[in-house]
């Protein structure tokens, strides 16, 4: 098994030295050049559990896998005006074995995908006088050169 990170490489190196009867932390530090606290932490874990593997995380497993979370992010990115209820329906329809709640989708968007929940501002409707003023302005400027205007 190849190490996937620097920390995993450090753990495997210290474990290999430990298995080869190099038990003094000071010797391991001199040989590897790893930080003192790292070597002591790894040795304490070896003494306590006999392994350098991560302990299982307590609690219930997450309902949404990373793939499903990425799908939620794409749904929101493609249509940022969609509601969490609609996203929940799409997710449950795509994965029939999944029964996720709207609250779970909201929590995932906020905590895992770092989206901020907000509502669009309520904008008052135009009054009749505003509509007439806009129309009059448009009629006055209908002959203008609009080729260099960015809308």
Helix (H) or strand (E) holding 25: helix 25-32
This prediction's pTM: 0.50
Q: How far apart are the C-alpha atoms of 54 and 69, rounded to whole Å?
A: 24
Distances 66 to 71, 72, 73, 112, 120 between C-alpha atoms, Å: 9, 10, 10, 10, 29
Contacts of 61 by beta carbon, 8 Å cutoff, 6+ apart: none
User: Contact at 8 Å (CB) between 95 and 135?
Assistant: no
> What rounded mean pLDDT belongs to the chain?
90
The pLDDT tens digits of the residues spanning 59-103 come to 998 999 999 999 999 999 998 888 999 999 999 999 999 999 999
């Amino acid at each position: 098994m190849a190490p996937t990170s620097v920390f995993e490489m450090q753990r495997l190196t210290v474990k290999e030295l430990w298995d080869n009867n190099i038990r003094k932390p000071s010797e391991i530090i001199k040989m590897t050049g790893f930080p003192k606290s790292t070597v002591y932490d790894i040795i304490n874990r070896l003494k306590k559990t006999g392994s350098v593997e991560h302990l299982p995380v307590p609690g219930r497993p997450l309902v949404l896998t990373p793939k499903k979370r990425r799908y939620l992010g794409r749904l929101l990115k493609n249509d940022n005006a969609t509601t969490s209820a609609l996203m929940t329906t799409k997710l449950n329809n795509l994965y029939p074995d999944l029964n996720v709640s709207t609250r779970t989708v909201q929590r995932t968007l906020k905590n895992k995908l770092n989206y901020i929940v907000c509502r669009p501002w309520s904008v008052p409707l135009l009054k009749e006088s505003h509509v007439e003023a806009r129309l009059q302005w448009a009629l006055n400027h209908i002959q203008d050169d609009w080729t260099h205007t960015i809308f």
